[in-house]
Amino acid sequence: MRALARFVGGDALSQLWLFIVASLVGGIVAAVIMLFLYPRKTDSAAQPAG
């Protein structure tokens, strides 16, 4: 994608950061939502008694 943005130049190169940042933010948001929808289950046998 960077090579294409460099070849086209202008607006494509100036918007490249947006595509990278938006992908990272979307992944983080999806991970947080998944943690709320599917919380980790703890194994009661693995926890020490007491």
Token pair recorded at residue 9: 């130049």
Q: How far apart are CA 47 and CA 37, in angstroms?
A: 24
Q: What is the pLDDT of residue 23?
A: 95
* In-domain check, residue 19: yes
- The answer to pTM > 0.75 is no
* In-domain check, residue 8: yes
Tell me the residue range of the domain where 9 lies. 2-38
Residue range 7-43, pLDDT digits in tens: 666 676 678 888 899 999 999 999 999 999 998 887 6
| Number of domains present in the structure of the chain | 1
Q: Which residues contact 48 (CB under 8 A, 6 or more apart)?
A: none
* In-domain check, residue 32: yes
